[in-house]
A and B are shown apart, each in its own frame.
Chain A
Amino acid sequence: MERVALVREAVKRLLDSGQVEGVLALRTVGPGSAPHLFHPGDSLDDLTLWPKYPLPKILDMLLAADPSVRLGMVARGCEERGLIEMAKRNQVDMNRIRLVYLACTAEERDECCCSWPYPSQIDVGDKVEGTADALVAEHERLSLAERTEFWKRQFARCIKCYGCRTVCPQCFCETCVLEDNLWVEAGVLAPPFPSYHLIRAYHTIGKCVGCMECENACPADIPLTVLYTLLRRDAEEMFGYVPGRSLEDLPPLAVETLWQTGH
């Protein structure tokens, strides 16, 4: 059976089980797909799988809108990992969520240059191994000075749309430092190096699961995930921490805070 038909079946089973009020997935709309909350009894004929949207961010909003609601979601690997990081920071309650686990195809993996294109368990799809981002390897051959120049050139194109921040499921602070005039002066284009982008990069450590939504939303084609991939690798080497790997692992910044405060 076709992959999308299998997802529709799995979503229908979840809806019929009565465990959830609705299932968040994608629906065919206009030029592509759009997020949609399917209910029991809805036609699932227009449920689709691609292009993906940041569903964890939407699920967070829906769960917050009604503290008693239980919802399902069709989750790719990056989306499951995103939810795990959000749960650790009290953004979502995993007990109120049921997932339909979807493995990405090789084509989808290649589109995202994804190193981890499958969830912790698989309901639909076949596991394909991850791929390395060629730009990351290329980046590592550069000297420190060349790297600085590379990022200066990239960030100079920024139009400060804030799309990378706004689309990111891991960006949930009620007040954002990127809107604080002290750190990122309003009305200045591009943001002076290295404000904005490096602040945001630091804030992704221990959270970014490499879902690619920021890079896909960037009107200036800045290869943001190269930077975040390198930071993720550093965090793994230094602290043994992999964002989204398990609900139990404590994020390195949280561990450091606990150690420093003696709790």
Chain B
Amino acid sequence: MEYRNVLTTCIYCGVGCGLYLQVLDGQVVGTWPAKGHPLNDGRLCVKGWYAHSFIHHPERLTTPLIRDQKGGPLRQASWEEALDRVAQRLMAIRETHGPDAIAFMASAKCTNEENYLLQKLARSIIGTHNVDHCARL
């Protein structure tokens, strides 16, 4: 039997509370708030307390899903194929309707660096200032 705790940062909002993921025999089974952490010192909100619960969830998506035609079924795809599809469609929409026909939604669940890259993609590659945030959806 192996039981240990791995220090990480809560992914649910921008505060960045410190928490431990409890790992029992290779499975993540629970969360402890990190005592002594400069941000949350042993406290969490209800989302943080369940930060582990999606990791092994049976309904968690683990590959991209693509719909080959409108209304058709979703099928599993590689990241390569999915990103190619997204890039092609975004460029086609930009070509037909202009860059402001596209908007980008950043996320509190990403790091600052990832959100920086997203707005860079929006402004420099697509050419739009339509950048907003999931907290306003």
Contacts and interface: CB of A to CB of B under 8 A. Distances in A.
A32 B43 contact: no
Interface string B109-135: 000000000000000000000000000
B49 interface: yes
Interface in A179-224: 216-219
A163 B22 CA distance: 16
Name the interface size band of chain B.
Answer: 20 to 34
Contacts of B22: 35, 58
Contact of A36 (B3, B45, B49): B3
B116 to A, nearest CB: 26
Interface in B15-49: 18, 20, 22, 24-25, 29-30, 32-38, 40, 42-46, 48-49
A103 to B, nearest CB: 21
Given A30-B7, A51-B42, A216 B35 contact: yes
Secondary structure dominating the interface of A: mixed
B18 A30 contact: yes
A120 B35 CA distance: 27
Contact of B36 (A32, A66, A163, A219): A32
Interface string A56-71: 0010011001100100
B33 A163 contact: yes
A53 interface: yes
A160 B29 CA distance: 22
Contacts of A97: none
Interface of A: 21-22, 24, 27, 29-37, 51, 53, 58, 61-62, 65-66, 69, 159-163, 166, 216-219
The 8 closest A-B pairs by CB, nearest first: A32-B36, A34-B5, A37-B3, A30-B7, A51-B35, A31-B36, A219-B43, A161-B46
20 contacts: A22-B3, A27-B5, A29-B7, A31-B35, A31-B36, A32-B35, A34-B5, A34-B20, A34-B32, A37-B3, A58-B3, A58-B22, A61-B24, A159-B45, A161-B43, A161-B44, A161-B45, A161-B48, A216-B42, A219-B40
Interface of B: 1-5, 7, 18, 20, 22, 24-25, 29-30, 32-38, 40, 42-46, 48-49
Given A30-B34, A34-B20, A163-B33, 9 more contacts: A34-B34, A36-B3, A37-B1, A51-B35, A65-B1, A163-B43, A163-B44, A216-B35, A217-B44
